[in-house]
Amino acid sequence: MRRSFTLVAAGLVGTCSLLSAQAAPALKWGPAPAVFPAGAQMAVVSGDPGKAAPFVIELSMPSGYRIPPHFHPTDEKVTVDKGTFLVGMGETFDKAKTKPMAVGATGEIKAGMAHFAMAQGATVVTVSAMGPFAMTYVNPLDDPTKVMAKP
């Protein structure tokens, strides 16, 4: 009797694992919003970054991708899923002042704190915050949405 219970339990665990794996929807990746420098891809994991509610996104960046100094109106939590994310605090981009975040590292940046980042190798981060998402560049010339086309 004990043996058949073990087999049934093992079968249930296997079935639950299979159902759990099937229930996870595939992320829909696309170009990151225009407020990010060109080249990054983004996927919404949960929530809606455009609404006043919690959201989670993943941002995929090629090696060397830079995000100039900027700040957000809400706190954000960052977790590194792939690669190395170099993060620095301050209003001037200075790679020498960045701290590497390796896979599995997490960090929180408080609302209004100027920071900058760079991908070392192909890098994917998960960002969770309260929406609506907003990003203000310290130097307006760094904002891709504000760059005027040359005549």
Residue 146: its pLDDT value, please?
85
- List the structure tokens of 79: 């977790």
pLDDT digits (tens, 9 = 90+) for 36-58: 999 999 999 999 999 999 999 99
Instruction: Name the DSSP class of 142.
Output: G
92 within domain boundaries: yes
Whether 19 is covered by a domain: the verdict is no
Query: What is the average pLDDT score of the chain?
Result: 87
Query: What is the spatial distance between Cα 17 and Cα 120, in angstroms, rounded to a whole number?
Result: 34
Note the pLDDT tens digit of each residue in 123-138. Answer: 999 999 999 999 999 9
pTM, to two decimals: 0.81
What is the domain-level CATH number for residue 94?
2.60.120.10
Beta bridge partners of 139: none
Task: Please give the residue range of the domain that contains residue 93.
Answer: 26-138
User: Does the residue 21 lie in any domain?
Assistant: no
Task: Give me the number of domains the chain comprises.
Answer: 1
Q: Is residue 151 part of a domain?
A: no
Please identify every stretch of the chain with a pLDDT value under 50, giving residue numbers as ranges. Answer: 1-21, 149-151
Indicate the burial class of 54 (C-beta count within 10 angstroms; 0-12, 13-18, 19 or more): middle
Q: Phi first, then psi: what are they for 131, rounded to 5°?
A: -85, 175
In a domain? residue 16: no
Note whether residue 39 is domain-resident.
Answer: yes
Residue 5 belongs to a domain: no
In a domain, 20, yes or no: no
